[in-house]
């Protein structure tokens, strides 16, 4: 099974928005298509990003992306786990794919390891 594309996700969002409406099947289908189309049009073109000011910017190269999908910038706080503990990254590392954007995300990723360590101690 392949991962859903942004188009698939937009279609699904449109379906969810329309499930509470009381209208004919044809009207529902047309409105669903219009909502999905509007959501798609909000995406920046491939190879571009939408910055925090709403400006579409072209990306040259590859952006660093954390394990939870965050693109860190200057001054970003990031967290990593080691031995089931969460630590804040002091200096922006060369690789960020094993870092997390929040301490909560890092702790959630470490939870299975912590549980496994606890089971090992009890054995």
69-86 confidence digits (pLDDT tens): 888 887 888 999 887 789
Q: Taking the alpha carbons of 99, 105, 107, 112 in that order, is the dihedral positive or negative?
A: negative
For residues 92 and 104, the model is more confident at 104
80 in Cβ contact with 72 (< 8 Å)? no
Q: Taking the alpha carbons of 45, 43, 94, 111 in that order, is the dihedral positive or negative?
A: negative
Q: Where are the domains of the chain?
A: 6-43, 49-123
Q: Taking the alpha carbons of 96, 62, 53, 8 in that order, is the dihedral positive or negative?
A: negative
46-71 tens-digit pLDDT: 888 878 788 888 888 888 888 888 88
> If you count them, how many residues does the chain have?
123
């Amino acid at each position: 099974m392949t991962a859903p594309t942004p188009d698939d996700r937009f279609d699904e969002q449109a379906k969810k928005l329309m499930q509470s409406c009381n209208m004919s099947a044809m009207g529902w289908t047309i409105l669903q298509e219009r909502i999905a189309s509007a959501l798609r049009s909000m995406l920046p073109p491939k190879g571009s990003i939408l910055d925090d000011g709403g400006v579409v910017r072209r990306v040259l190269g590859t952006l660093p992306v954390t394990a939870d999908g965050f693109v860190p910038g200057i001054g970003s706080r990031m967290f990593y786990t080691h031995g089931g503990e969460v630590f804040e990254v002091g200096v922006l590392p060369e690789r960020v794919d094993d870092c997390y954007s929040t301490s909560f995300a890092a702790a959630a990723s470490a939870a299975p390891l912590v549980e496994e360590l606890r089971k090992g101690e009890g054995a």
